[in-house]
Structure 1
Amino acid sequence: MNLPDLTDATLTLEERIATLTLDRHDLRNALTGTGLVEDIVQVAQWVNRCQDVSVLVITGAGSAFSAGGNVKDMAERGGDFAGDPAEVAQRYRQGIQRIPLALQAVEVPIIAAVNGPAIGAGFDLANMADMRIASSRAKFGETFLNLGIIPGDGGAWYLQRLIGYQRAFELTLTGRVIDAQEALQLGILLEVVEPEALMPRVQELAAHIAAQPPKATRLTKRLMSMAPRLELKDFLDVCANFQGLCHNEPEHLEAVERMLAKMKKSS
């Protein structure tokens, strides 16, 4: 399947790993005032159609992962922030709020490779991934209140699910910026590595996942996403149906044969 045409980001596909790089380093990869919202949504939809993808990696070009909203536009009441309350609300719905909805629907695991500061909506974007690995140079901040606004892109929904209500409340209400080590201690990050090791480590993890049976990987991602929303009995019903599909897939029998061959060789 052909790669989508993007405006302010780049996309590669190698060995079942799609890597989306936010490429507006001149604006520190701000999500508003650029084409990045449309690019991210387009890639999310493409991933679900492309059966050659098993993992989606999101990272940033330049020194920042993403600075979030364009503060200059806010100061000038322009771009996404122009107009009366109803107009601004509609722009949020038709603009940046499309990102969490699109990424929540992605059928493959998402890894955020946080190369630098992830601030405001940029922090929230990282938290929309299933896993986050960061450079030691990364910083994180739920800084909306510092600008007199609320997390309008869903950040308050994601952060408390990652680290609990009390810690999320403190970060959101103080607007303080934390370094990568504190983010690791809080459970926001899976790992922190040196800058030059970031993409190799992320690619290593992505390759391990991409080597798994692809259809079962997508179903497992769906199960993991559904689990918090379902009662146990309903969840087990879904598991039974998904498992019925898996047991009838050629990839399952191929995996079993590989396991039996490995057991025979080691015996």
Structure 2
Amino acid sequence: MSDVVLYDQQDRIVTITLNKPETRNALSKDLCEALVNAMKRADADAGVSCVVLAANGKSFSSGGNLHEIKAMTAEQNMTPLEIEKWYKTGIQRIPLTMAEISVPVIAAVNGHAIGAGNDLTTMCDIRIAGEDAIFAESFLRVGIIPGDGGAWLLPRIIGQARANQMLFTGEFIDARKALDYGLVSEVVENDKLLERAYELAEMVVGLPPLAIRKTKELVRTAQSVTLKENLDQAALFQGVLQQLDDHREAIDAILEKRKPVFKGA
């Protein structure tokens, strides 16, 4: 695993940490590749039930690496087709990967989450923020558009009107406004951010592992199918889950007033 993204597993929780504080965790090509690989690794491990996405340094992510973006035309003279390929083989792999994985991801947002950094938070299932967190859709400030799915993701989370305001003004919003917008679900003291993220992760992993992943899949596909199709998928999943030992253990534990012991089967 590349040292620009750290991977640590404790029981059923994996912490994936952006680790380029010298660039405020700008999403350079190497970081994008390492993040995709880390997410796929966690998802492929049946022993993982939750991911905490965190960042070292003063910022969650400052967005795209402006030096790389500038070099495309100022130094490398890349054609429009070459730039298109750069996005498709680079940063766009992150939202596509995040949309495919079945393990839930909790974003612990510290400091700035700007541009693509803000969009990275929207790819996560749960977002909590430290009191110093700052969010922005800042692409127009540098004369480009969200190339990483932000225009698709953000309106689905905070609504079209507020998303348009962020997208068309590039304004910076603090953690409290992000909470009001619904961009994050909680704001906590800065020094309690990871502690709270792990509290939430522990709540997730205390539930039946396969049911956790099927719930995420059901929620994800609900964005693009009809109610009838989502109900059909739910019925199919239930037919599988209700045959599992974990389902029977969950009910028995409730009836017997004890803590359940799940085996992922």
| Normalised-by-shorter TM-score class | over 0.9
Greater shift in the superposed pair: 38-47 or 71-80: 71-80
Give 1:13's match in structure 2, choosing from 9, 14, 17.
9
Aligned equivalents of 1:175, 1:82: Cα separation in 2: 28
Structure-to-structure mapping, 1:119-130, within 5 angstroms = 119-130=114-125
Aligned equivalents of 1:59, 1:234: Cα separation in 2: 35
Aligned residue number for residue 148 of structure 1: 143
Aligned equivalents of 2:60, 2:198: Cα separation in 1: 17
Structure-to-structure mapping, 1:53-132, within 5 angstroms = 53-77=48-72, 83-132=78-127
- Structure 1 length normalisation: TM-score? 0.93
Aligned equivalents of 1:124, 1:237: Cα separation in 2: 31
Aligned equivalents of 1:124, 1:138: Cα separation in 2: 14
Give 1:30's match in structure 2, choosing from 26, 29, 34.
26
5+ residue gaps, structure 1, are: none
2:239 maps to 1:244 = yes
2:200 maps to 1:205 = yes
| 1:46-83: CA deviation from partner (whole Å, max 9, x where unpaired) | 12210111011111100000011112233343699850
Aligned equivalents of 2:32, 2:220: Cα separation in 1: 22
| 1:152-193: CA deviation from partner (whole Å, max 9, x where unpaired) | 011111100011111101110001111111111111010011
Judged with a 3 Å threshold, the aligned counterparts in structure 2 of structure 1 residues 43 and 81 are, in CA distance, closer, same or farther, namely: farther
- Structure 2 length normalisation: TM-score? 0.94
| 1:180-231: CA deviation from partner (whole Å, max 9, x where unpaired) | 1111111101001111000000100110011100011111111111112111
The one-letter code sitting in structure 2 at the alignment partner of 1:212 is L
CA RMSD of aligned residues (A): 1.6
Query: What secondary structure sits across from 2:222 in the alignment?
Result: helix
Aligned equivalents of 1:105, 1:187: Cα separation in 2: 23
2:178 maps to 1:183 = yes
How many residue pairs end up in the alignment? 258
5+ residue gaps, structure 2, are: 259-265
Aligned residue number for residue 160 of structure 2: 165
State percent identity of aligned pairs.
43
Query: What secondary structure sits across from 1:111 in the alignment?
Result: strand
